[in-house]
Amino acid sequence: MATADAMLKPDHAARRKHFIFTEEHEQLRESIRSFVTKELAPHAEEWEETTFPDSVFRRMGELGFLGLSYPEEYGGEGGDYYCNLVLAEEMTNCNSGGLAMGVAVHTDMASPPVFLFGSEEQKQQYLVPAIRGEKIACLGITEPDAGSDVAGIKTRAVRDGDEWIINGSKTYITNGHRADFIVLVTKTDPDAGYDGFTLFLVDMDSPGVIREKKLEKLGMHSSDTALLAFQDVRVPHEAMLGQEGKGFYHIMWELQGERLIGAAGCVAGAQKCFDRTLQYATERTAFGRQIGKFQAIRHKFADMATKIEAGRQMVYTTAWRFQNGEYPVREISMAKLYTARMACEVTDECLQIHGGAGYMKEYGIERAWRDMRLNRIGAGTDEVMLDVIGRSYGL
């Protein structure tokens, strides 16, 4: 309630609660934050070297964090889409982009298609144990010869009686080494254009599934990234996920949720980096002053804060539309594009403000800088987002 007194000075400490979040969301936020800071963050350094253990999924399953928006009948918490945003935001407090990504692939990329397109049996077999953290999921779209051009994938599934035989390869697959099952994008009719793709749920211990090498990468070191081969892998007809020939549309739907969750992670990650750097700028002195008091540095903070806030508003407004039944592909693409670029700019400026310390491992800023860079590539590159946005205007 506005009062005359309250109008005398700007209230910079005002609670920044957005209208999409209720008190229940804030309680959820508190409980996820408490878990993440107590049980995950202390291991961030160690897991950069070893990748994080599978037990993280079981623990998060026990706590109910892997099924926040799924119905209770499948072991979920029955929440709305905003609960997933809260999870993505709070996971950034684990100080490890790779861990946050490994969990997000499970919760917001691989399992949503099982829930939306899966048969009741598939939900029981895959979704229920995924929500409990007993089965780990991965998602296989990208191939050595086709990433942005999803329709260019070559992995083939050919019908043989009551079975399908799958041959092909997938690359850069997050959780690919640890996963129990994969949501696999295949081509079932090479002559049918966009109607020639079909999704399958494949057990990763099926004969013919080969987990080739673990891929070395710039950042996200605590996650595992796999090159996978599928050699005459036989799956029953019931392993088909969704409709035959509609896999391309199914996976495009999946990508929208993935991009929005990624955008929420970018905003929260940028904010975290900003907060740490603000603290540093009040502690570090040069020429007898706190570095934050130099106008050049103060303006960097002002710029960063403005961009972070713009990204946050974009994500929340778009999430509101998504939650309310719209399919706002253009705005999701804009949010993904903007927040990925913004988060890379912010982490770069934060590194700069740290000076030499920013380049040193001990401050964690260099890791954030490396991890953040993936967001301009994964789940659709900047260039692909620009193309989706441009085409949405009929161009």
Give the tokens for residue 207.
């004969």
DSSP class per residue in 267-318: HHHHHHHHHHHHHHHHH-EETTEEGGGSHHHHHHHHHHHHHHHHHHHHHHHH
- Please say which residue, 137 or 350, places its beta carbon nearer to ligand FAD: 137
Burial of 370 (0-12, 13-18, 19+ CB in 10 A): middle
CA 296, CA 166: separation in Å to the nearest integer? 58
Task: Say whether 258 is catalytic.
Answer: yes
Shortest distance, CB of residue 387 to ligand FAD, whole angstroms? 5
Residues forming a β-bridge with 169: 229
Shortest distance, CB of residue 378 to ligand FAD, whole angstroms? 5
- Decide: 80 and 93 in contact? Cβ < 8 Å: no
- Please say which residue, 147 or 265, places its beta carbon nearer to ligand FAD: 147
- Please say which residue, 315 or 374, places its beta carbon nearer to ligand FAD: 374
Catalytic site residue from 89, 90, 258, 366: 258
CA 65, CA 106: separation in Å to the nearest integer? 11
CA 154, CA 190: separation in Å to the nearest integer? 9
Which segments of the chain are extended strands (E)?
A: 137-140, 156-160, 163-174, 181-187, 197-203, 209-214, 225-236, 240-241, 285-286, 289-290
Alpha-helix residue ranges (DSSP H) falling in 67-139 = 81-91, 97-104, 111-117, 120-122, 128-132
- Please say which residue, 169 or 174, places its beta carbon nearer to ligand FAD: 174
Shortest distance, CB of residue 318 to ligand FAD, whole angstroms? 20
- Please say which residue, 352 or 381, places its beta carbon nearer to ligand FAD: 381
Burial of 32 (0-12, 13-18, 19+ CB in 10 A): buried
- Please say which residue, 252 or 286, places its beta carbon nearer to ligand FAD: 252
Shortest distance, CB of residue 105 to ligand FAD, whole angstroms? 5
Shortest distance, CB of residue 169 to ligand FAD, whole angstroms? 12
Give the tokens for residue 221.
């070191």
DSSP-derived letter for residue 30 is H
Shortest distance, CB of residue 382 to ligand FAD, whole angstroms? 6
- Residue nearest ligand FAD, Cβ-based: 147
CA 183, CA 200: separation in Å to the nearest integer? 6
Helices (H) and strands (E) in the chain, counts: 14, 10
Residues that bind ligand FAD (CB under 6 A): 105, 138-142, 147-148, 172-174, 217, 220, 225, 374, 377-381, 383-384, 387
CA 304, CA 342: separation in Å to the nearest integer? 8
Shortest distance, CB of residue 338 to ligand FAD, whole angstroms? 16
* Residues labelled as active-site residues: 258
